[in-house]
């Protein structure tokens, strides 16, 4: 089916052609006679001639606004998308502009800016030019770019033109020194580090002193590069003249290290619990370790083979048989004195890994090495002691566990000043004293320097006698006189609480 506008256009074309050929057009009557197509009705007599008027072409819609709108929309969408991946305008990292860049591009820019920075060494440097890359300039460009984007994304207009973002620029010391030495060899004279050595005569560690040297000021150069880049610059001049270079290890550093080693020597050894069972002398310990300069720091390196030689000798110093305890007791079993302390037996355990453990501790600055032992408990032996004084036979007998240890002749009290009978206990010992005795007539007799006195009953006791040798007969004012050597034996044999029986 043809649309109305197209049909009318076609008819207009036909009418125009007919007129041009001299023919009369065939007018079409109004469509009032049914369903017949209008172009099939003949003209009627008296009807006015009809002609199709040209149809005005439909006006074209003006789409300029649409195209402008689409452009603005596309720009808005592009800007919105860009705002999601770009860093805010005006952002600088360590003085390097990174605004309008993606984090990846910003990282590349930062790295390149630092690597391409130029340093002209003046003075002794002879205007030699080194780049940041030559000097081992380093900056964590990726992390800084990511941080700048996270803190200052493009879409956050409040972050535009913000304060500079700080970024640390460093020079790799080894790379920078190598480049500077090659560029200005005359400015370098190596410093001497202080050292630590064992002084056999002094029995400890002492230091060897340091000495300063010269070099191009690396710290100053680093600061100058940082400042230049922070100010937006890419090149600078720096003096290549020698500056004083301090040693990496100073005398103070070495002294502190030597002090720590000497402190360790004061307690070094093999321990069982808190007991330093096997001390290690300083000279031996010094063969176990070497003090080395490890890149400008002092450290200890241990020699396991030297340590093992000492470990191999440990059993002879550690192993022992148990020693029984000896106690003096009374007849009721009460301990009056411990004559000998008991000591457990012991045998050293596995030492197969001990040399390695010792080496590890020495390198960590420790000198206490624990050793494991198997112990055998001791037993206790009780000695029941007492002294028997027979006034009838004028003897004193020392008895231990029912057996006679020793027996001596004595001189007890005279009939006028007798020795009391009964059961007593030793209560005091006096190494030497002046004794006063009352005679039957009431006079007082003084005897100086009486030795080895063992009191058991008031002012009565055993003691040494130098003024007579009539033992076996009563001669005293109540005390039990003995030869001096016997009195000393009794003094040392009899603890406080020892039972003394005096009888006829």
pLDDT one-digit tens code per residue, 54-90: 445 555 544 444 444 444 444 344 455 666 899 999 9
Residue 313 has a pLDDT of 96
Straight-line distance from the first to the last Cα atom of the chain, in angstroms, rounded to the nearest whole number: 167
Indicate whether 95 and 236 sit together in one domain: yes
> Which ranges in 213-270 belong to alpha helices (H)?
218-230, 251-265
Contacts of 384 (CB under 8 A, 6+ apart): 329, 330, 331, 333, 400, 401, 402
Q: Which of 82, 113, 86 is nearest to 99 (CA)?
A: 86
Residue 73 has a pLDDT of 44
Q: Which of 329, 293, 286, 328 is nearest to 307 (CA)?
A: 286
Residue 432 has a pLDDT of 97
Residue 69 has a pLDDT of 45
Residue 65 lies in a domain: no
Indicate whether 393 and 362 sit together in one domain: no
Indicate whether 176 and 52 sit together in one domain: no
Residue 67 lies in a domain: no
DSSP line for 61-124: PP-HHHHHHHHHHHHHHHHHHHHTTSBPTT-EETTEE-TT--HHHHHHHHHHHHHH-EEEEEGG
Indicate whether 237 and 90 sit together in one domain: yes
Q: For the chain, what is the domain count? A: 4
Report which DSSP code applies to 411. B
Domain range for residue 369? Answer: 266-376
Residue 442 has a pLDDT of 79
Alpha-carbon span 371 to 355, nearest angstrom: 11
Indicate whether 18 and 94 sit together in one domain: no
3-state DSSP assignment of residue 197: strand
| Most distant CA atoms of the chain, gap in Å | 206
Residue 261 lies in a domain: no
Indicate whether 372 and 400 sit together in one domain: no
Alpha-carbon span 87 to 99, nearest angstrom: 5
User: Which stretch of DSSP H or E encloses residue 369?
Assistant: strand 368-370
Q: Which of 378, 377, 369 is nearest to 278 (CA)?
A: 369
Indicate whether 346 and 406 sit together in one domain: no
Q: For strand 499-503 and strand 422-425, is the pairing parallel, antiparallel, or unpaired?
A: antiparallel
Residue 83 has a pLDDT of 67
Q: pTM for this structure?
A: 0.55
Residue 437 has a pLDDT of 87
DSSP line for 262-322: HHHHTT-EEEETTEEEEE--HHHHHHHEEEEE-SSSEEEEE-HHHHHHHHHTHHHHH-B--
CATH assignment at residue 444: 2.40.440.10
Residue 285 lies in a domain: yes
Residue 440 has a pLDDT of 78
Residue 72 lies in a domain: no
Indicate whether 97 and 242 sit together in one domain: yes
- Helix pair angle (141-151, 103-116), 10° resolution: 140
Indicate whether 305 and 279 sit together in one domain: yes
Indicate whether 285 and 182 sit together in one domain: no
pLDDT one-digit tens code per residue, 282-325: 999 999 999 999 989 999 999 999 999 999 999 999 999 999 99
Residue 479 lies in a domain: yes
Neighbours of 498 (CB within 10 A): 23
Asked whether 122 and 183 are in contact (CB, 8 A), the reply is no
Residue 57 has a pLDDT of 52
Indicate whether 427 and 486 sit together in one domain: yes
Indicate whether 390 and 304 sit together in one domain: no
Low-confidence ranges of the chain (pLDDT < 70): 1-83
């Amino acid at each position: 089916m043809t649309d109305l506008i197209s049909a009318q256009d076609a008819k207009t074309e036909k009418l125009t052609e007919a007129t041009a050929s001299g023919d009369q057009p065939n007018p079409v009557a109004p469509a009032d006679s049914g369903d017949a197509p209008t172009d099939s009705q003949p003209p009627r007599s008296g009807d006015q001639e009809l002609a199709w008027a040209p149809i005005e072409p439909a006006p074209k819609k003006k789409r300029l606004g649409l195209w402008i709108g689409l452009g603005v929309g596309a720009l808005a969408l592009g800007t919105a998308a860009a705002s999601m991946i770009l860093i805010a305008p005006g952002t600088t990292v360590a003085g390097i502009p990174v605004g309008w860049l993606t984090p990846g591009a910003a990282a590349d820019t930062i790295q390149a800016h630092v690597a391409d920075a130029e340093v002209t060494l003046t003075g002794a440097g002879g205007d030699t030019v080194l780049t940041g890359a030559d000097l081992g300039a380093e900056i964590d460009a990726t992390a800084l770019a990511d941080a700048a984007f996270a803190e200052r994304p493009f879409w956050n207009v409040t972050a535009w033109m913000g304060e500079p973002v700080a970024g640390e620029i460093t020079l790799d010391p080894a790379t920078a020194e190598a480049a500077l030495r090659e560029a200005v060899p005359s400015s370098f004279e190596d410093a001497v580090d202080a050292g630590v050595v064992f002084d056999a005569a002094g029995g400890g560690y002492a230091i060897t002193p340091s000495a300063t040297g010269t070099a191009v000021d690396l710290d100053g150069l680093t600061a100058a590069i940082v400042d230049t880049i922070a100010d937006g610059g890419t090149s600078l001049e720096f003096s290549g003249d020698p500056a004083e270079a301090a040693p990496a290890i100073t005398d103070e550093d070495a002294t502190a290290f030597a002090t720590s080693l000497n402190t360790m020597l004061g307690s070094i050894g093999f321990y069982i619990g808190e007991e330093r069972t096997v001390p290690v002398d300083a000279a031996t310990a010094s063969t176990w370790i070497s003090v080395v300069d490890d890149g400008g720091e002092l450290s200890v390196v241990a020699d396991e083979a030297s340590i093992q030689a000492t470990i191999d000798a440990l059993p002879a110093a550690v192993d022992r048989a148990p020693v029984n305890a000896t106690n003096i007791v009374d007849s009721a079993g009460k301990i009056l004195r411990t004559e000998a302390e008991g000591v457990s037996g012991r045998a050293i355990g596995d030492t197969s890994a001990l040399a390695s453990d010792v080496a590890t501790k020495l390198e960590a600055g420790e000198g206490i090495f624990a050793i494991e032992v198997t112990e055998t408990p001791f037993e206790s032996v009780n000695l029941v002691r007492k002294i028997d004084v027979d006034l009838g036979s004028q003897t004193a007998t020392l008895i231990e566990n029912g057996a006679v240890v020793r027996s001596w002749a004595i001189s007890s009290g005279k009939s006028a000043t007798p020795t009391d009978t009964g059961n007593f206990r030793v209560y005091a010992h006096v190494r030497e004293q002046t004794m006063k005795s009352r005679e039957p007539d009431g006079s007082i007799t003084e005897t100086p320097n009486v030795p080895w006195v063992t009191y058991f009953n008031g002012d009565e006791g055993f003691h040494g006698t130098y003024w007579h040798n009539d033992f076996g007969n009563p001669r005293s004012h109540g005390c039990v006189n003995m030869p001096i050597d016997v009195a000393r034996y009794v003094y040392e044999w009899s603890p406080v609480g020892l039972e003394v029986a005096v009888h006829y």
